[in-house]
Structures are given as structure tokens and as C-alpha cells.
Amino acid sequence: MPSDLQEKGHVVLVGAGPGDPELLTLRALRYIQSGDVIVHDRLVSDEILSLVPDGVEKIFVGKAPGHHILKQDEINQLLVELAQTHKLIIRLKGGDPFVFGRGSEEAEHLIKAGISYDVVPGITAAAGCGAAARIPLTHRGLARSVRFITGHHKEGQGLDIEWASLSDPEMTVVIYMGLKNLDNIIEKMIEAGRDGNTPAAIVENGATDKQRIAYTTLKDLPQTCHDANFKPPSLLIVGQVIEVAKVLNQ
Ligand SMILES: C[S@@+](CC[C@H](N)C(=O)[O-])C[C@H]1O[C@@H](n2cnc3c(N)ncnc32)[C@H](O)[C@@H]1O
């Protein structure tokens, strides 16, 4: 390691999974218990934060939909600044740092600043919610591929998705951050050829003790979310696998 890297702190981007501390990896737990400072998002649960030893500074950087306490470039900068004053900086993120978590942007910034870093994988919402809600993401004969898409887009820009590529009836589509633009997403998917009667489910706070699930169809997803007042964090899963989930949940 070059000598200038040794003088600065080391940043670890740690995936905290969907929220239940039992779904942390052992490595994530070790870092949570040994960091000199913890920088965390809203999706990191209180139960996980309670594993941070007393006296260790915890810095909340927000990221509720539409209410970022710090902007992404400010978070990037904060990590660089903390590396001047602390040895081990833990950047704790919900799910997996490299799945819709902007962890790779933080890593790019750290590299530019000459700061060493590591990444600890976490259980991403799709895997966590799928297993916890007994929704298989693939199933022989029904779903041979899975797509993860984000329903979030930059202010003033439309969703930049190749909608026709989601029309394969044997593909499970998992939508992260989908509630805000749901009408638009569903309209585009159906217009592009996905059958509106495809089974669908919403999982709110998946893999935690607050988990809520509703079954519906692609075309009725917006109405179901509205009627049952689903709030973030919620994951939308579309595909024939929802029929299997109904059997597995009996
Ligand atoms: C900014 S993304 C972060 C994703 C995270 N990096 C991951 O790998 O799961 C936030 C979105 O992930 C989904 N999400 C995260 N945790 C969830 C949970 N416990 N239950 C349902 N959805 C969740 C929701 O769609 C939420 O809006």
C-alpha cells in the first residue's frame, strides 16, 4: 500500500441488509463493532445501530425519498474528511452497497482522493424480501430470469428504462423505489407488452418484524398501494412467481 494511503483512514462500505440484525453478515457485524465512526442511512434500522459500541460517533446522512439530509456529493466529501481524522470509517448502507445504493459512486470518490476502501456485501432487498415473504424470484418453468429496476429518477428527468425488455412473461421484475412513480412505471410496462394481469406483490419493510405484504396484479398495483397505504421502504415484485408464493404461504 502506498505510504500516503497508510496515513489516511480506511473506509469500509458495509451492507446492513434489509434491517433485521440477524441478517447481517459476520463481517458486517465485526466492522460495525470496530469502526471509529459510523456514517449511516435511514434504511439502517435502530436495532442494527444499537450494535455500535457506546461512545462511537454515529453520523446520520439521511436519504429518505425526496429528503436527503446530505446530498450525495456532500456524503462523498464527508467520507474523505473523516478519513483525515479517523482510522476506520464505516459507511453503513441498507441492503447491499452496490445495488441501488450509490456505493460505487462513493468508492470512485475515495479512489480519486487516494483513500483505501473495502466493500462488505449485504442482503439486497430483492433477496431479503423474496425469502422473507416466500416469493421465489426464479422458479423452474415460470421465471428463468430476474430484473432489478429502480423507479427513481433524477429531478426533471423521465425514467430511462428499455420498457420492452421487461415484457418477457418468464421474467420476474423487481422494482426498487417504485412507489412515487408507480402509475407511470405500470403504464409503460403494459404499453410495452407486459400483460396487465401478471400477478404482482408489494412487500413493505420486508424481512423485518414490521413486514406487510399484499398480492395484486400489475395493472392494479397503483390502486392496491394506494388503498393499503404502502409506504417506503417497499419493494414491488411482478411475475408468475407470485402464484407460487401464494402456495408457499398457505
Ligand atoms: C435506495 S434503495 C437501497 C437499496 C439497497 N441498497 C438494497 O440493496 O436493498 C431503497 C429501496 O430499497 C427497497 N428496500 C430496501 N429495504 C427494504 C425492505 N426492508 N423492504 C422493502 N423494500 C426495501 C425499497 O424499494 C427502497 O425504496
Q: What is the pTM of this model?
A: 0.93
Catalytic residue numbers read 41, 63
Domains and CATH numbers, the chain: 3-123 (3.40.1010.10), 126-248 (3.30.950.10)
C-beta 14 within 6 A of ligand 1: no
Pocket test for ligand 1, best of 43, 47, 68, 208 (most atoms within 8 A of CB): 43
Report d(CA 187, CA 137) in Å as an integer: 23
Distance CA 39, CA 22 (A): 20
Instruction: Evaluate whether 150 touches 174 at the Cβ level (below 8 Å).
Output: no
Q: What proportion of the chain, given as a percentage, has pLDDT over 90? A: 89
Percent of the chain with pLDDT over 70: 94
Residue whose Cα lies nearest atom 10 of ligand 1: it is: 177
Q: Would you state the pLDDT for residue 3?
A: 47
Say how many Å lie between the CA of residue 235 and the centre of ligand 1.
7
Return the best residue to mutate from 100, 175, 208 for the ligand 1 pocket (most ligand atoms within 8 A of CB): 100
The answer to whether the beta carbons of residues 114 and 8 sit under 8 Å apart is yes
Kind and range of the H or E run holding 187: helix 182-191
pLDDT tens, residue by residue, 71-98: 899 999 999 999 999 999 999 999 999 9
Region 120-142: what's the mean pLDDT? Answer: 97
- How far are the Cα atoms of 110, 182, 184, 185, 191 from residue 219, in angstroms, in the given order? 43, 10, 11, 10, 11
Take atom 5 of ligand 1 and give the residue whose Cα is closest.
95
- Report long-range pairs for 99-105 (Cβ below 8 Å, ≥24 apart): 99/124, 99/125, 99/126, 99/148, 99/176, 100/148, 100/150, 100/152, 100/176, 100/177, 101/15, 102/72, 103/13, 105/72, 105/76
- Smallest CA separation from ligand 1 atom 27, residue: 177
Report residue 66's pLDDT band, with 50, 70 and 90 as the boundaries: low
Residue 6: what pLDDT? 53
Is the shortest distance between the CB of 174 and ligand 1 below 6 Å? no
| Summary mean pLDDT of the chain | 94
Report d(CA 199, CA 221) in Å as an integer: 9
Q: What b-and-e string marks burial along 198-217, b requiring 16 or more CB atoms within 10 Å of the CB?
A: bbbbbbbbbbbeebebbbbb
